Amino acid sequence: MFSLIAPHGGRFVNRFLEGSDRERVSELIPRLKKVVLKDWEISDLYMIASGGFSPIEGFMCKEDYHSVIDNMRLKDGTVWTIPVTLSVSADEAKKIKDGESVGLFDKGGDALGILEVEEKFSNNREKEASGVYGTQDKCHPGVLRLYEKGDVLLGGRVSVINRPKYDDFKEYRLDPIDTRRLFKEKGWKRIVGFQTRNPIHRAHEYIQKCTLEMADGLLIHPLIGETKKDDIPADIRMECYKTLIENYYPNDRVVLSVFPAAMRYAGPREAVFHALVRKNYGCTHFIVGRDHAGVGNFYGSFDAHYIFDEFNPEEIGITPMFFDYTFFCKQCGCMASYKTCPHDAEDHISLSGTKVREMLRAGKTPPKEFSRPEVANVLIESYKSKS
């Protein structure tokens, strides 16, 4: 029997408590100081506990936090590009001592788990903004969220007794251990992961099907955690993915599962982060497109490709698959990219996101060379219901 790719750092983390350990912590929590988590922190807590953020076992302590910002590595040298932190206000922090445990709750008052507070330290927003996002401009949604965090960060290992309550996408909420088991059952050895926060259009389909020519299977893994307000809602995106797979993909070679993490919009650093996390889900390869995880004009079109050159392939462990800007070429008569098409831009059918949204609002179907009609219909109905 073959083995799947090793989790990042060589060790798969599981911080969900069961049995007597869960009972003990459940009895303890009501007596602890309470910390209420924001939605994106709940997403991070789940990702830590499920092993999605392996080898991380909790919210980062000071050395790891600064090492990630400065060197894109944990303090032990393991590649990691995005800080994973829990913040509280200065007043809350004064009531919490190093070495004590605090209860972690959602905003509805339900207990999620505990944090063993190893240390408290200052939230260096300016340094994190510049180092991770490349800007301190609050027009950047990731930077804006960063400045909404509390002044003090709590670092330490977490233990989770209750999963966050989600009523949506239940059949698609697969933990890393679930996708790994599924891939093994299918006999897949070469698995390509695809990250998306947008509805899939023909360019995405082209890229995915190119990789399917070389792989055993494809994990379409749409991010459904917190995104910026003008992104297409997750339920609409999921309907698009399901429609596309049902009509145009070999069902036995594609797995659709949701990715519960929050979107950072950190461009190049988030591209590496997304790759490492998909390794924990069992993927051996990861698609990195143009302006991966970018927003506005904060990053160059291919910065997310170049950043991988800063690491040895062995320490990343998952193989990135880089794709150029793709489009439908009228001369070629098919989907193509600048790597494969010799024709001028006037022969390329490619629409901006703004133009597509204008067409959808007007009830107009984008050209079939840009979007499958079935997918466009899902989006048009969504815009009609909003109106």
Which residues are designated catalytic? 197-198
103's enclosing H/E stretch is strand 101-105
Gap between the Cα atoms of 304 and 320, Å rounded: 10
Q: How many CB atoms lie within 10 A of CB 150?
A: 18
104's enclosing H/E stretch is strand 101-105
Contact in structure between 331 and 211 (CB atoms under 8 Å): no
- The number of residues in the chain equals 387
Tokens describing residue 16: 């969900």
Contact status, residue 225 vs residue 219, Cβ threshold 8 Å: no
Give me the residue label for tokens 């459904």: 224
In angstroms, rounded to a whole number, what is the distance separating the alpha carbons of residues 141 and 139? 6
State the Cα–Cα distance between residues 253 and 191, nearest whole angstrom. Answer: 10
Q: Structure tokens of 362?
A: 């007007």
Q: How far is CA 124 from CA 66, 91, 152, 153, 329, in A?
A: 9, 17, 9, 9, 48
SS3 for 57? coil
Q: What is the DSSP string of 136-168?
A: --TTSHHHHHHHTS-SEEEEEEEEESS-----S
C-alpha to C-alpha distance for 273 and 166, rounded to whole angstroms: 24
d(C-alpha 89, C-alpha 180), whole Å: 39
Q: Is 193 left (phi over 0), alpha (psi -120 to 50) or beta?
A: beta
**Cβ-based neighbour number of residue 368 at 10 Å:** 12
Neighbours of 49 (CB within 10 A): 25
* DSSP strand pairing (326-329 vs 319-322): unpaired
